[in-house]
Structure 1
Amino acid sequence: MAAAVVMSGQAALADISRFVGEYSGSADVETRSGEISPRDMSVVIGETSDGYRVKWTSTTQKSDGRRKAKSYEIEFQPSGRDGVYAAAMKRNVFGHTEQLDPMKGEPYVWSRITGDTLTVFSLFVAPNGDYEMQQYDRTLVDGGLQLEFNSHRNGIPTRFISTFLARQ
């Protein structure tokens, strides 16, 4: 059993090594009001001792010239399923990492590596039971990553972003 866990961890490092790096780009994003807003995007992917970490930032420029950045950083560890990784977003009383609880308004996050694509999924459950699913596909292409983001609320598409992120 211990050998299987070590092999699983080694497979994660081997799979993620192709994605490791810093990437940046920009995209025109349609806002909820239908306006087009330019957005700078970046992602940093790095190895950890037993998995990998993904940090991404999205920066918008307000009409008054101010810039607003949102950043997220999540560590992923092997889940026991080939190519599927659990988010290690908090530590329990024993110091072990665990998933957040969507029934408490926290996002449930996981990732997978399929071929040349690293995908991060996020599930949010609203207080009234509505849900939102987000999917970030980052596919290796010449010179960087092709980012395809989509969001669905109660199964209805709400946002789609497609852009190239150049390797730095």
Structure 2
Amino acid sequence: MNFLAWLSPGRWLLIGALLAALVLGYFAWADHIGDVREGQVRAQYAKQAKAVDDARAAIAPPIAARQEARQEKIRTVFKTIIKEVPTYVSINDCAMSPGFRVFHDAAANGEVPDAARIADAAAVAAPDVANTVAANYQACHTNSARLTGLQEWVRAQQVLKAPP
């Protein structure tokens, strides 16, 4: 066999093409392996995320049930309190002055009372004042219970670990 025959340009071209095909094939294979591994990691992450989401979703219903029970108790208690107003506050009790009404309404709205409005305000019967005060306290207790429920939910969510 003639050694110089191996040096012919056609053979070098063939050898170069084979080497280029091998290198390109290797890079394509490595890219495919990377994609497979990335898909496996994504699937594992999705599985972990679903587990955390399911755990977080399971937290809400019991807290919501306790919250609804608290709200129902507050409604029942204040319905009873408002029903008892005539027992404790008589229609014959002294009516509250117009200034009291202006002051109370301003305080309830978070405003500074306007003394000029006293002239236009009417006196308020004591039972009406008692009903309004009870309704305001009911709203306060309702908001307090809602806040407590929200804090309970947040604390329960913080206990769960997020996936890495």
Compute the TM-score of the two structures, normalised by the length of structure 2. 0.22
Compute the TM-score of the two structures, normalised by the length of structure 1. 0.22
Larger % of helix: which? 2
Larger Rg: 1 or 2?
2
Larger % of strand: which? 1
